[in-house]
Amino acid sequence: MISLHKKFDFKNFITENSALVALILLFIVSIVLQGTTFLSFRNIINILRNNSIIGIVALGMTLIIIIGGIDLSVGSQLALTGLIAISVINVTQNIVLGILACVAAGIVLGIITGGFVAKFRIPAFIVTLGTLTIYRSVAQYWFSGGGLMISGKVSDSFISISNTNLFGTIPLPIVFWLILSVLVALFMSKTPTGRYIYAVGSNEKATKLSGINADRVKIITFAIAGLLVALAAIVEAARLGSINSASSGTSYEMDAIAAVVIGGTSMSGGRGKIVGTVFGTLTIGIINNMMNLLGVPPFLVGAVKGFIIIAAVLLQKRLDRKEMS
């Protein structure tokens, strides 16, 4: 009566994976423009490493956007939790303790946002617009607007977290990004909570009436996103050996949201894939890299990037519409 197996449909594959198609197009354009330099192993590794932190933040952002929210405060969260990690390590000289404190702080910040969104029914946009300035301000007040460097005898081992190469070639941040992407993708497609996130984002009322605690699902979503931001903060802190209360993480929310949107996740919630976000992050990474290689003046980079983001989403919409008719 019903079959488990479906025939492979090429047209369907293209529309469902428009983010990948856009990425491949961009890849080809890059090869044509800057063939040897772009394709060099060092350059590719560079792109991946430079975008692994945004990539991790974008994973959590995907969950939040799928459930119908948005998080503008990820940059401030990253600065604050990163500072917590370094402070704890500097004082205790215990890296594990620092990481645990950082992760716990990330989860708490997520629960705070999720709590306001779920229990007091304030739009996530508003809540995180508030927390964006609160967290940044707290961080700056704490360190008088300056930064904090890792110090003591554990500094080198902490810094090695982000500055070690697996098999001598692949920087660890890329590995972290990859592993977390697979885990989050599995979580979204294979666990009940993952499916509830899609359901709440698509139709909260119907989900509630199916006997599911939609408020709890929302809070869990923000908590997971907070956890991911904290992990990104550790990678960032370890990479540079310091976090700056004023500048660390600024405008990360923009790149993360752009990656999610380019990846095909619907801003109105209910639809989206983790793999799309990974492709979206890579797309932004390649754009940045290409403009660097082509020598686009730094002040023009933003304009080109913005244009390409809109163009990418426009392309997806067209593909979607063709699918419907």
Partner 1 sequence: MSKYIVQMKAIEKSFNVSKVLHGVDFSLKEGSIHALLGENGTGKTTLMNILGGVLPANSGEIYIDGEKTAIAKPNDATEKGIAFIHQELTLINDLNVYENLFLGTELKTGILLNQKDMAVRSREILDKMEVDLDPHTMVRDLNASYKQIVEIARALLKNARVIIMDEPTASLTDVEIEHIFTLMRGLKKKGVSFVFISHKLNEVIKICDEYTIMRDGRVVADGNLTEDITENDLAKHMVGKELSYDDLFKTRNLGDVILETKGLSRDKEFSDINLTVRRGEIVGVTGLLGDGRSEVLGTVYGCNTDYKGDIFIEGEHVRMHSTPKAKKLGISYVPRSRKENGIVKDLSVAENMSLSILSRLKTAGLISKSKQFDSNDRYVKNLNIKVSDIDGLITSLSGGNQQKVILAKALGSEPKLVILDNPTQGVDIGAKLEIYSIIMNLAAQGVSFVVLSSEAQEILRLCDRIYVMYHGKMKKMFNRDEATEEKIMVVATGGTIDRERADRA
Interface ranges with partner 1 (CB under 8 A): 1-2, 4, 6, 186, 190-192, 195-196, 198-199, 201-203, 205-213, 266, 270-271
State the nearest-atom distance from the C-beta of 223 to partner 1, in Å: 18
Give the residue with the Cβ less far from partner 1, 164 or 202: 202
Task: List residues bridging with 148 in a β-sheet.
Answer: 243
Give the residue with the Cβ less far from partner 1, 21 or 271: 271
Give the residue with the Cβ less far from partner 1, 202 or 250: 202
Give the residue with the Cβ less far from partner 1, 143 or 187: 187
Phi, psi of 169 (to 5 degrees): -125, -40
| Residue 66: CB atoms within 10 Å | 25
State the nearest-atom distance from the C-beta of 106 to partner 1, in Å: 22
Task: List residues bridging with 149 in a β-sheet.
Answer: 242
State the nearest-atom distance from the C-beta of 77 to partner 1, in Å: 28
Q: How far apart are CA 173 and CA 211, in angstroms?
A: 40
Length of the chain in terms of residues written: 325
Give the residue with the Cβ less far from partner 1, 158 or 198: 198
* C-alpha distance across the termini of the chain, in Å: 27
Give the residue with the Cβ less far from partner 1, 134 or 208: 208
State the nearest-atom distance from the C-beta of 203 to partner 1, in Å: 5
Residue 324 tokens, joined: 């419907």
Q: 127 near 87, Cβ under 8 Å?
A: no
By the 10 Å C-beta count (0-12 exposed, 13-18 middle, 19+ buried), 325 is classed as exposed
Residues 6+ apart with CB under 8 A from 29: none
State the nearest-atom distance from the C-beta of 2 to partner 1, in Å: 4
State the nearest-atom distance from the C-beta of 28 to partner 1, in Å: 32
State the nearest-atom distance from the C-beta of 83 to partner 1, in Å: 34
Phi, psi of 149 (to 5 degrees): -105, 150
State the nearest-atom distance from the C-beta of 192 to partner 1, in Å: 4
162-171 contacts at long range (C-beta below 8 A, 24 or more positions apart) = 162/235, 162/236, 162/238, 162/239, 163/238, 163/239, 169/45, 170/45, 171/45, 171/48, 171/49, 171/52
Give the residue with the Cβ less far from partner 1, 121 or 205: 205
Give the residue with the Cβ less far from partner 1, 158 or 196: 196
Give the residue with the Cβ less far from partner 1, 55 or 114: 114
Q: How far apart are CA 64 and CA 222, in angstroms?
A: 7
State the nearest-atom distance from the C-beta of 269 to partner 1, in Å: 8
DSSP string, 228-248: HHHHHHHHHHHHHSEEETTTT
Distance of alpha carbon 11 from its chain centroid, rounded?
29
